[in-house]
Structure formats: structure tokens, C-alpha cells
């Protein structure tokens, strides 16, 4: 891990991380040793990306503490903490989960950043290509990720490209990113500068880069909004290139708030929502009736979804 | 302070605070000793209220760190931290301030809570009177706060009520709150319960309480949103009963992020915004012209505001 | 309806409504005749409250239009509109529902307003008791709503109070609200003013009112956030006094966006979410096994919830 | 305008616009003839982009109506509408401006979309390149926009590139966008499809496009948030490529809510905020003292900003 990681970090970033990990303080805030052990250290994602936790606030007991203020002394000590957290998750009492906060530093391809930013309830500071020059780093899929368009799902992947076609695709991705970056550098005329040219403004030159160029940002959100993000992005329907970030973050959440994370897996990630129609069909089935799409009252598409999520 | 405070806390809350202040951990997160010294301890506000910091994330350097990710390596070490923070505040580059987070526990009268909650960009867990029984505590203004309606400002206060009128007002406030609470307790029929009665549902009985009854909540927000709250509520135009909370919180912010707090005082709290018209008049004045409302092109009201904020 | 309504409106409000309903314009915006027929007219709720639609933007086809921009020309005309709307709702593709907006004018008791305002993703302008004097109107529950505290659910209602206890409760609610309002008026000293007194500032006097006093506000939100509000407040677990507002609003949504409203009823209001554990048990049952709480792996509470929502 | 516009629209979009402009309805909602005249019609921006208003809710009087609910009957008719709107704007009473809503359809380069989306308080539906194929359209700056990097401002532009350097930059921008798009089409293998190849998944192939490729979205926000957007993006410090969109939208706002738009120009766009230090210096100047940076107590940078915004 260390080697891969060092490759993804600028030299000054690596030094900053070592310094941050060495700086120990005393605090009377809630502290989670399992997450402290991970703090600052980048977890590699994709070929040049990473995600790392920079800071956090709260723990499982901060969720419980907030819920107990809501419920007042009446419920104090009535339920043990894990049971209360599971109850809150099951009944979508979401505000106590907002009492925990986490901040990540993420390095990711721009086309992934464009999906990610659609989650509006977070704070973001992104590297600015108006001010600074982006590094020469692009995402090139590993051969086993070079998937064909799905023939059944308009936004999904089918089988993996093979042989010549795969080679051709990889060659194009590499050559185009390389050439665009080289021309970006030429237009900027900064390193080294040719004194006979002025150099194009950074805010303009960046438009020549391809969407697989890496960017980076600080991304801070609360646990409720993070769970919403993970429910969409750690899901099988999410694009692989964002799902691997979500998976890495989910492992950090497991370390941080183990009770809430398990409740999230049971009641959200692994849960299924049944429509009024599905519920009616299910009750007929439990009563012994044989129900098929024809006599279900559901559309073909809905029946397929029902069969896949419940009956399989 | 201790005595007043103890009076405002339920006995189990006081024990929780002592336990929280005794529990020291090691952390590699940014830590602010001046705020750690205040952590958990309630600061009394009004007659039975308080505000206390429960947790925090980040410090002045977390603001700088986020700004430097945005600006990239180009600006690294170019400006020292305080100068950068002041620049960000002056130019309303607000996202780096979102990288700091703070959580308060507040006890406050319901009519103050109703003003406060209008700030939507925060996380809140409030004591629920559907679940639990509210304590018998109401806000009664100190005599020097018993102000008459302002005759010039529809939402302001005038001179302090005196003599018989003041006595009568205080007597009414006390008697009405007392009687409403006593009837609330009777309707609930819980302590002690009269076995011949069922007791009204808590969610209904609460409607009999007066708006000066105290409630409490956990309130968590980021530094940018907190500054927005403070710019409105630590302001001279804010109602006294919420301004005292804002003032207490401002002192905590001074301890937490001293550079950002000073920049906020200079560029927001103590700042004045001039309209295009005011700016034009000011330039005429600086050029030596005598400008009055008549030849200013401003409405009477606007001229008064200009005179009060700039000329005085 | 008209009579009850007129009683709830200030005379100038009634005149404004008549004027608004008479002012017809031509527009090339999406227009919904069924909602136009309801526009401006208050629907009475509780004893003095109401809710009315003031304005709206978009219709069912605006949802479809936004979804089709996302999916691009590829999906154009592939699905008919209702099917697409149902698909979006089922798969929680929520952003197209944000493209419809609605604005309500609501008159409601303050304790209901306090629940309602916890929904943060809306725009609100509330009557300000700092500026103006609240009317002498309080909510007094109808006898059939005078419920005892539930003995099984800490936030629920049990059987209806009877006889003497009911009479006593109603008498207390009426007398306390009356006396508090009378003292509020006395403290204000405005109508009529006693020249020997100054009158307490409005922002202070209001604290003497009880929580069943009526307030009013303009409340504007998008359809996605409205559905979230309705999923919590038109639900059987919501307090009756807010549920009746949600029910009245749901009827307006039925008129406004019939396809989206039906999808919401099928996939949200009438839906049930099964945890990973519930799903596993259900599959065992469908395979013919007899499963009880003992061999289900669920807690007693979770089993009860499962039985109530699925098996009954 | 028509010609340019038609070039930027897909054929089915042009037909949809004609149909939308022809469909007149009766409504009793607030209606603004000056904006109705603009509705649906695209205003060309940059070389292939546009912005057009799709729908709106409210007008100047909706702002007044909301403000008057807040202030209650007390202020009714006291101020005429324009004066009240100007008062609200001057004092940053922002909630009444949230009562107006507007929806745009925008076609814009991806690097502009990335700046724009940082405004989180809006609803967005963007064309999805996971589902559909992006058109072959890129932004190429007009020669007079081909600016050098500013030598004084890290995020600004300097003089316009000339001669050979300008030619070289334009040639690179064109050639790289063309080649990347051609390879994108080849990888997709859709039109025409080569039966010997599978075609790369759309969600992957899009990463090969350059950041000046055009995308489009529906973007809906309220007037308060739109003013915030315009205050940053219609400003001289904004990048030219987003400012031209903001300028086009500002013209639409002028038609829609003329009183609010003028107040926004006077109190926000044309306004200047003075820090506590600047205010102190200004008062010394008005009293006749000669103040320079040396005896001002301001940093060099702050003095320069003060001089530029106030003294010039």
C-alpha cells in the first residue's frame, strides 16, 4: 500500500501526512482509536487516486446522546445503545446521525468528481485549475474494467472487451490524455517558459484536458448525508469508478461508528422496499396462492424487479 | 457561575458533564487547548438558560489547509496564515470556513428557539415534549430588560418600564406561566397520578404551556454558517434574549479560531456596506463638496441609515 | 366550507383572495386546471386553521421533461409518461421531482408550527410577533381528539378522555389561553391604550402566549421535499394536529400532479421496507418453513414490526 | 439570433420550443408579460451555448406579499412596494426573495458547468453521458478572448494573445477536441456500428472527452439564491465564460422582477463593503485629514483594495 500511495501523493503532501500523524494531543472530545489508527493515511483507489480521513467529530455514543436529548429523561437507559441506534436507523429518525461529522481528502478523476458533486449537502474545497496547474495524471481503466455497453441496461456495463478492441481502446485513452496534457503544458508556457510567448491563462488552458484527469478535494459531511451517499454509491448499480471510493469510505465508517455502520448495512444497504402492490402479492403468496406476473397486477418491469429483489 | 449553572442543569446532566470533562484521550486531530478548557462546561445565559460547547472539529489552520487545496501548490507559503484567513473573509471566499464544525448544547426559552431555528443550515436535536415532560422553568426578564415598545422602530424596544407598570407586568408573566404549568401537570396526571383519571397525552398537554417555557437542544453547524448566525444575532438589532446567547457563543469562537474570529469582527460585524448611491455621495464628499439629503438622490430613510453608519 | 373559512380569515385577507381569484392572465407556462380551481381558496383545518395553495410551478410533464434531459434523446418516447414517473419514484431518482414547486399559505397553532419547521428544505415567511400583534385565536381540541397518553407508545395517544376529566381539561385549556391572551393585551397597552402606561415591547409580551395560539406563514417547497414532508406527516404515526394539514395538502397534490401523487402512494406511503434479516425470514417462509420470533434471529421489537407491516 | 440559436439546438428541441410557445393557457397565478415574451426562447451564449427560461413562479408583488405576512397588518400599505423591496434588499431580509422561483435550460461547456454546480442551493437535471451520447460540440474561444495569464492576479487574465501564439493555441484546442471526440465515437462503436467490435460502455468512453465539450441541464433556483449566484458570476472577477451566462440571466431577471433587480444592482452588484478599519480611515478623511497607507493601519493589499473600490 505504502508504495502505491507515495506515487499518488505530491512530495509535500507526503511530508504533511507524516507530520500530522506524529502530532499527538490530549483531548476531552469523544475519540475513536480504530479511526485514529487510519487518520491521515491515504487508501489507494483506482490507478492514481486515494481517499483518506482528515478529521472527524463524534462516535456511536454521540448519536445516542443526541437521541436521548430528543426523547428526554423518559427513555434514559431504557434501551442499550446499539438497540437504540438500530431503532433510529429502522425508523429513519435521521437527525441524531447528523451529530457526527467526517472530513475526507480525495484524489479522483474529474468525471467521477462530476457524479460525486451532485450530492449537495457537503462542504467542498477543490483544487482550482484557475489558480494552479493540474498534475499530469489520468485514470486509465485496468483491463478487467474495460467493459462493453450493457445490452439490457442503458446505464450499465456488459462483458469485458477482449483482444484487439481492448488494446485499441487503451491506446486511444492513453494517447489522447497524453497529447491533451502536453498541449495544455505548451499553451501555459510555464515550465520551462519560452520567452517569445506569453502563455495562455490557466483558466482557459484547462479546458483542453480530458475528463479522466485527476483532481482532488476536501469533502466534509455528516454521517446522515454520508449514509445517503453510500446507499447510492456503494450500491451495485453505481458506476465502478465511484463505487470503489464508496467501498473504501464504508470501511472507514465501520471503524468509526461500528454500531451505526452495522445498522446501515442491515436496514439500508441490504434492505428492500416493497410497494403496496408487491406487499399485496406477497401476502397472497404467504397464504399459499401461486402468483405470476399475469395475475399480480404489476407491470412486467415491476414484476421483474420484485422477483429479483425478493423471490431470488 | 458554578452555582447559577448547577441550578439550570438536571442532576444527571451535571454528573454527565463531570464525567465528560474527566475523560481524556490521545488524538492526532487538530486540537485547541483554549477551547478544550471550556468544553462541556455550561455558560449561564438569561435566568435559567445556558450554552456549552459539546464538541468541535478543526481550527484556524484547517481553514488555511482547505484554502490551500483550492489554490494549489502555487500559493503554498506565499502568505502567512492570518493574512490568508483575512483575505478569505474580506472576499467572502466562504467554503474554507465550512471546514470547521462545532456542536453546542443550549437551554433556551421557546420563543427564542423559534427565532433561532429559522437558521436552516444546522443540525438540531431538541427535547421532545411528545415523549417527555418539560421542566417547570420559565424565562422572566430582569427588571432592566422590561422595555417598552419603541416608538420609532416597529421591532425594537424603548425605555425601561418603571414602577407599578413594571410590577404588574412581572406579576402577570409569573402568574400566567405558573398557572399554565400547574394545569399542564394536572392534565398529564403523572406525578403523582390520580388513579381515577387517565391523563391527557403529552403531545396535547404541552399546548397549554407559555412561550417563555425553557426547552433545550443540541445544535451543530459549521463555522461559515455560525458566522452568518452571529452576524445577525450578535448584532445590535437582534432581540436581547437571543443576542446574549450569540455573545456567549462569540466568546467561544474567539477561543476556538482566534484569527478567523478577529477577521469576522473586522470585515463582518464591524463592517458597513455602501450602496452604489452612497458610494457616489461619499466620493463627492471626499472631493470637498457639501452633500445633504436634498442633493444626495437618496430617500430620507436611506440618508438616515447612511448618516448613522458612515458619518457619525 | 365558506362559513368556517371566513371565520378564520382576517377581513382584508378575504378581500385579497376574492381579488386574486378574479385576476385571470394568459400564460405559456404549464398550467393545471384542476389546481387552478383550488388556487387561493382556504381549506379549513382544525378549529381556526387553514391551508391554501398560493402559487405553483410545473406539472407531471415537467417531471418527465427533466428526466428526459438527464437520460438524453436515447430514451425519448421509449416509455410513456406515467410509466417513467413510476420508475423514477420506485428507484428514488428524486431530482426530476424537484422541478415542481408549490407555495402554501397556512394558519396553524404554534406547537404544530414547531414540528413543521423542522423540515429545513423549504422557504418560510412567518407572521412576526415582534412587529405585529397576534390575533386572539387558540386551538382547542374537539372532544373526540382529547386522547389519553398511550400506555404502549411513548409518543402516541390512547383512548379518548371521558366525562369529568374531559370537561376539566377543556376548561383548563380555554381558561389558560384566554387569561394569557388577556394579559398579553394588557401588557401591550395598545387597544385601547391607557395613557398612564407605556406598554411592554411586542417582542417581550408575546412570551406570555400559550403554544396553542395560532400563527400563519407562507411555506414554499419543491415536490420532492413535499413528498418527504408528506411521507412523515401524512403517516399514521404523525400527531393528529399536523396530519390533518398533511392530508389536506395531499389532496391538493392529487389535483396538481396526479401521476406523481399515485406513484407516491404506491411506492412510498403504502410501501414497506424490509431489512436484510426480514428478507431472509420471508424467503424461508415462502419456501414453506414455519418461522417464529424464536428462530427468526430478530429481536422481539423487530419481529413485532415485521409481523405488523408484512404478515397482517 | 434565430440562426445562431437553431444551430445550438437539436432538431427535436427546436420543435418542442415552438410547441411550448404556442400553448397558451388561462391562469390566476401572478403572471409577468415581459418574461412571458422571453419564455422558452434560447438566448445564444458563447459559440454553441444558450440559456432560456422554462418556467417561473412569482413576481415583484410576491416578494411584497411575503414580507407583509412577516410584518403583519401593522405595516400594510405603510410603504409602497418598491420602497419595501429596496428596504428588504438593503437590510438583507432575504426570505421574501425566496418566494420567487425560476427554471432555466442551459447549454454550457463542462468546465463552466463545474464552476456553476458549486452553487449547491439549486435543483439540477443534467444530460447524462452514462445513458446517452454527447454531441460533437466544443467551446473554442473567440480570438479576442484568448487571453494570457495575468501577471498580477493568479486567477485572472492579462492581455490578448497575438499572432502565431494565438494561432497555435486555437489549432491545438480544435485538434485535441476533434481527435478526442472522434476516438470517443470509435470506442462507442454505435453510429455506424462495426459488428466485429462490442463498443465500450458509455459511462467509460465519456472520460476521453475534453472539458470544453458542451453539456446541458435544467437548473431551478429561487430569486435569493439566484441573486447570490449573480453577485459572484456577473461580477468583474468572474471568469468570462461563466459571466456571459450570468449577464444573459440578469437581463431575464430585469424583465421578471424589475424592482428587485434594480435594488440588487444598487445594493449588491454596485455596492462596496467597508471593514471597520476602512470605515475609521474614511471618517478621518471626511474630517479633512490626509491618510496614506503608512498611517492607515491597513496592510498594503487591503489599502489597495480600499483605494480601488472607494477612492477611485
B158-197 per-position pLDDT tens digit: 999 999 999 999 999 999 999 999 999 999 999 889 999 9
pLDDT at position D3: 37
Quick check: D289 pLDDT over 60? yes
Calculate what percentage of chain A has a pLDDT beyond 70: 95
D90: cell is 438593503
pLDDT of residue C146 exceeding 70: yes
Residue, of D121 and A180, whose pLDDT is higher: A180
**pLDDT higher than 50, residue A4:** no
User: Which residue shows C-alpha cell 479576442?
Assistant: D144
Q: Which chains are within 8 Å of A by 3+ CB pairs?
A: B, C, D
Q: Where are the alpha helices (DSSP H) in B189-274?
A: 202-205, 223-233, 240-256, 258-264
**What's residue C78's pLDDT?**
44
Is residue D76 very low, low, confident or very high in pLDDT (cuts 50, 70, 90)?
A: very low
- pLDDT at residue C2 greater than cutoff 50: no
Q: Which chain D residues are closer than 8 Å to A186 by Cβ?
A: 168, 172
Q: In this complex, which of D87, D272, D275 lies closest to B266 when CB atoms are compared? A: D275
- Say if CB A29 and CB B27 are below 8 A apart: yes
> Could you give the strand order of the β-sheet that contains B101-109, starting from the edge strand earlier in sequence?
B43-45, B49-57, B101-109, B214-222, B123-126
The C-alpha cell of D129 is what? 453521458
Q: In this complex, which chains have at least 3 CB pairs below 8 Å with chain B?
A: A, C, D
Q: Is residue B5 scored above 70 in pLDDT?
A: no
Which residues fall within 8 angstroms of residue C286, CB to CB, at 6 or more apart?
A: A285, A286, A311
DSSP B269-284: IT-EEEPHHHHHHHHH
Stretch C185-198: mean pLDDT: 93
Give me the pLDDT at residue C189, please: 95
Residue A262 has pLDDT above 80, yes or no: yes
Q: Which residues of C are catalytic?
A: 233
Residues in B closer than 8 angstroms to D285, CB to CB, are 286
Binned at pLDDT 50, 70 and 90, residue B135 comes out as very high
Distance from CA of D232 to the nearest CA of B (A): 10
CA pair distance B311, B300, nearest whole angstrom: 15
Q: Which residue of D has its CA nearest to A178?
A: D176
Is residue D22 less than 8 Å (CB to CB) from chain B? no
C-alpha angle A84/C91/C249, rounded to 5°?
75
The residue of chain B with its CA nearest to that of C138 is B207
Helix axes C276-286, A276-286, angle to 10 degrees: 40
Q: Which carries the bigger pLDDT value, residue B309 or residue B137?
A: B137
Q: For residue B223, what pLDDT is reported?
A: 98
Residue B233 known to be catalytic: yes
Q: Complex ipTM, two decimals?
A: 0.93
What's the mean pLDDT when you consider all of chain A? 91
C174 in Cβ contact with C146 (< 8 Å): no
Is residue B266 pLDDT above 80, yes or no? yes
The residue from A154, A233, A265, A301 that is catalytic is A233
Query: H/E element holding C105?
Result: strand C101-109
Distances (CA, A) of C53 to A49, C44, D208: 50, 12, 48
Residue B213: closest CA among B190, B257, B182, B246: B182
Burial class (CB in 10 A: 0-12, 13-18, 19+), B164: exposed
Residue D205, pLDDT > 60, answer yes
Count other Cβ atoms within 10 Å, centred on residue D12.
11
Q: What is the structure's pLDDT at C11?
A: 76
Instruction: Give the per-residue pLDDT at D192.
Output: 87
User: Is the model's pLDDT at A210 over the cut of 60?
Assistant: yes
Range in A112-121, B3-12, B237-246 the model is least confident about: B3-12
Chain C contacts of A274, Cβ < 8 Å? 271-274
Q: CB–CB of C24 and D26 under 8 A?
A: yes
DSSP A146-215: -EEEPSS-TTSEEEEP-HHHHHHHHHHHHHHHHHHHHHHHHHHT-TT--TT---B-HHHHGGGSBTTBEE
Average pLDDT, chain B: 91
Ranges A156-165, B222-231, C68-77, C84-93: which has the least confidence: C68-77
User: Which pLDDT score, from 0 to 100, does residue A187 have?
Assistant: 97
Residue linked to cell 459571466:
D243
Q: What is the pLDDT of residue C302?
A: 87
Chain C CB within 8 Å of residue A73 CB? no
Q: Which of A49-63, C24-38, C136-150, D78-92 has the lowest mean pLDDT?
A: D78-92
Q: Give the pLDDT score at B6.
A: 52
Name the least confident of C191-205, D146-160, D192-206. Answer: D146-160
The residue-averaged pLDDT of A15-34 equals: 92
d(CA B115, CA C182): 24
pLDDT tens for residues A37-69? 999 999 999 999 999 999 999 999 999 999 988
pLDDT in tens, D178-192: 999 999 999 999 988
Indicate the pTM of the whole model.
Answer: 0.95
Q: pLDDT tens digit string along D220-276?
A: 999 999 999 999 999 988 999 999 999 999 999 999 999 999 999 999 999 999 998
B262 → chain D, closest CA residue: D276
Closest CA to D59 of D38, D85, D78: D85
pLDDT value at A74 more than 60: no
Q: Quick one: average pLDDT of A139-161?
A: 89
Residue tagged active-site, from B233, B268, B283, B284: B233
Mean pLDDT of B125-143: 94
The rounded radius of gyration (Å) of the Cα atoms in chain D is: 24
Residue C97 pLDDT: 98
**Selected residue with higher pLDDT from B126 and A16:** B126
> Contact partners of C by the rule of 3+ C-beta pairs under 8 A?
A, B, D
| Res. C10: pLDDT tops 80 | no
Rounded distance, CA D156 to CA A130, Å? 8
What mean pLDDT is predicted for residues C46-62?
97
Which chain B residues touch D75 with a CB distance below 8 Å?
A: 154
- The percentage of chain D sitting over the pLDDT mark of 70, rounded to a whole number, equals 95
Q: Which pLDDT belongs to residue A239?
A: 95
Q: What is the sign of the dihedral through the CA atoms of C268, C272, C277 and C281?
A: negative
Q: Which chain B residues contact residue A218 at CB under 8 A?
A: 65-66, 69, 99
**Strand, coil or helix: what is C240?**
helix
Residue positions counted in chain D: 312
Amino acid at each position: 500500500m505504502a508504495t502505491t500511495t507515495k506515487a499518488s501523493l505530491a512530495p509535500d503532501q507526503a511530508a504533511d501526512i507524516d507530520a500530522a500523524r506524529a502530532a499527538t494531543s490530549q483531548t476531552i472530545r469523544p475519540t475513536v482509536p480504530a479511526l485514529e489508527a487510519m487518520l491521515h493515511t491515504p487508501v489507494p483507489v483506482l490507478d492514481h487516486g486515494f481517499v483518506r480521513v482528515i478529521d472527524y467529530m463524534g462516535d456511536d455514543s454521540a448519536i445516542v446522546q443526541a437521541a436521548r436529548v430528543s426523547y428526554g429523561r423518559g427513555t434514559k437507559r431504557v434501551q442499550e445503545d446499539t438497540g437504540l441506534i438500530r431503532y433510529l436507523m429502522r425508523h429513519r429518525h435521521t437527525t441524531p446521525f447528523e451529530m457526527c461529522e467526517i472530513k475526507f481528502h480525495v484524489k479522483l478523476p474529474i468525471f467521477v468528481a462530476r457524479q460525486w458533486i451532485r450530492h449537495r449537502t457537503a462542504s467542498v474545497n477543490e483544487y482550482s485549475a484557475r489558480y494552479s496547474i493540474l498534475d499530469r495524471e489520468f485514470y486509465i481503466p485496468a483491463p478487467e474494467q474495460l467493459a462493453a455497453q450493457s445490452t439490457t441496461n442503458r446505464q450499465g456495463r456488459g462483458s469485458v472487451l477482449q483482444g484487439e478492441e481492448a488494446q485499441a481502446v487503451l491506446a486511444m485513452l492513453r494517447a489522447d490524455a497524453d497529447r491533451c496534457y502536453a498541449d495544455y503544458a505548451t499553451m501555459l508556457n510555464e515550465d520551462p517558459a519560452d520567452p517569445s510567448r506569453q502563455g495562455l491563462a490557466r483558466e482557459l488552458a484547462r479546458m483542453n484536458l480530458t475528463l479522466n484527469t485527476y483532481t482532488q478535494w476536501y469533502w466534509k459531511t455528516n454521517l446522515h448525508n454520508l449514509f445517503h451517499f453510500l446507499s447510492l454509491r456503494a450500491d451495485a448499480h453505481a458506476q465502478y469508478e465511484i463505487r470503489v471510493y464508496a467501498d473504501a469510505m464504508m470501511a472507514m465508517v465501520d471503524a468509526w461508528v461500528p454500531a451505526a455502520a452495522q445498522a446501515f448495512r442491515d436496514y439500508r444497504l441490504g434492505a428492500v422496499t416493497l410497494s403496496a402492490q408487491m406487499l399485496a402479492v406477497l401476502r397472497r403468496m404467504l397464504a399459499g396462492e401461486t402468483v405470476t406476473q399475469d395475475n399480480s397486477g404489476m407491470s412486467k418491469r415491476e414484476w421483474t424487479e420484485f422477483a429479483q429483489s425478493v423471490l431470488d
